[in-house]
């Protein structure tokens, strides 16, 4: 699968995923198309390569008047940056995301400023998001059900990665769209990596979210990064260990170096993802994840 490719999710009903070419990196960003009676898109990418998504919807046979739902799992711009562009092109679609995120998609100015501060040089891969009209967006809390006609999506709050994150569970095919609640699936490495960005990463909540996924026991996980994977409880057990060990590694290195910039540089220089993502993306990912843990550690110390 290459950038721009559209594939069916195996053993699922009219469900597709697209490699959006996020950060010019293959197998990093995925968007899902649910070709239901009332069609939906789950997550939207950063908006930069939105033509890939428009073409994919055309390929599936979902016309500009047909799309009914745009469902960002959370408002980080790698998941919601394309929402306004989709809303503009598909005039009958309703955007639905967590209540906390709604005002930030209506007026993205603070979201953009926060993203620029968090991603630094990676902003070159983004585009300024298009605001979502206020009358085209609805808030979610978790516990709702979204009716797609021939199937339903249960909304599950998953606030560890960010307080505005939800998952969507298609209980018919037993598919769970996880956003970033289950980590980052690396198909070429056959492993799940941590995603701990600033400014609202919460370890304990992330561990709870992983337990929620285990409790729901879906057949398939659909990762925002990257693609579908058959679920097994051992996968989430492993992700919990990964998170705990990652936070502890950053904590120990901070105690050793006593300088946050030096801690970030250390993990950038020791990343093992260069062959998978390329040097720039690998280093940028380490920087983002370390900053998130450092912020979490600061918060825990203040409690």
Q: What's residue 49's pLDDT? A: 94
Condensed to tens digits (0 to 9), the pLDDT of residues 160-204 reads 999 999 999 999 999 999 999 999 999 999 999 999 999 899 999
Give the chain's mean pLDDT: 96
Question: pLDDT at position 303, please?
Answer: 67
Q: Domains of the chain, with CATH numbers?
A: 5-248 (3.60.15.10)
Whether residue 21 has pLDDT greater than 80: yes
Assess contact for 197 and 291: CB atoms under 8 A.
yes
What's the CA gap between 288 and 204, in Å, rounded?
19
The structure's pTM equals 0.96
Mean pLDDT of 17-38: 96
Select from 246, 177, 189, 241 the least CA-distant residue to 213: 177
Inter-CA distances, 71 with 146, 286, 298, Å = 10, 28, 32
DSSP E strands, the chain: 6-8, 15-19, 30-34, 40-42, 69-71, 94-98, 137-140, 145-147, 152-157, 166-170, 175-179, 184-186, 191-193, 220-223, 227-230
| CB 272 within 8 Å of CB 283 | no
Q: How far is CA 38 from its chain centroid?
A: 23
Of the chain, the percentage scoring pLDDT greater than 90 comes to 95
Mean pLDDT of 9-17: 96
Task: For residue 120, name the pLDDT band (cuts at 50, 70, 90).
Answer: confident
C-beta separation of 223 from 30 below 8 A: yes
User: pLDDT tens-digit profile of 238-282?
Assistant: 999 999 999 999 999 999 998 999 999 999 999 999 999 999 999
The pLDDT tens digits for 59-98 are: 999 999 999 999 999 999 999 999 999 999 999 999 999 9
């Amino acid at each position: 699968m290459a950038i721009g490719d559209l594939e069916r999710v195996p053993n699922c009903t009219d469900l597709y995923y697209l490699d959006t070419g996020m950060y010019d990196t293959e197998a990093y960003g995925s968007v899902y198309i649910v070709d239901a009676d009332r069609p939906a898109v789950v997550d939207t990418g950063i908006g930069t390569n939105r033509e890939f998504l428009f073409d994919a919807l055309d390929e599936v046979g979902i016309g500009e008047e047909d799309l009914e739902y745009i469902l960002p799992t959370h408002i980080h711009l790698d998941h919601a940056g394309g929402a306004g562009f989709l809303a503009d092109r598909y005039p009958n679609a309703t955007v639905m995301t967590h209540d906390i995120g709604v005002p930030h998609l209506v007026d993205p100015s603070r979201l953009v400023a926060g993203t620029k501060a968090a991603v630094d040089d990676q902003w070159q891969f983004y585009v300024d998001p298009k605001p979502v009209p206020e009358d085209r967006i609805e808030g979610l809390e978790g516990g709702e059900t979204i009716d797609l006609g021939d199937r339903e999506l249960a909304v599950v709050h998953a606030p560890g990665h960010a307080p505005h994150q939800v998952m969507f569970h298609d209980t018919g095919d037993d598919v769970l769209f996880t956003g970033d609640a289950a980590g980052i699936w690396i198909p070429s490495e056959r492993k799940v990596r941590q995603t701990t960005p600033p400014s609202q990463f919460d370890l304990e909540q992330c561990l709870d979210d992983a337990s929620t996924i285990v409790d729901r026991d879906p057949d398939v996980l659909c990762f925002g990064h990257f693609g579908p994977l058959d679920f097994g409880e051992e996968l989430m057990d492993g992700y919990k260990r990964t998170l705990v060990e990652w936070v502890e590694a950053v904590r120990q290195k901070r105690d050793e170096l006593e300088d946050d910039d030096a801690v970030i540089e250390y993990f950038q220089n020791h990343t093992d993802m260069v062959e998978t993502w390329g040097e720039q993306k690998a280093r940028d990912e380490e920087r983002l994840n370390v900053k998130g843990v450092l912020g979490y550690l600061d918060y825990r110390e203040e409690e």
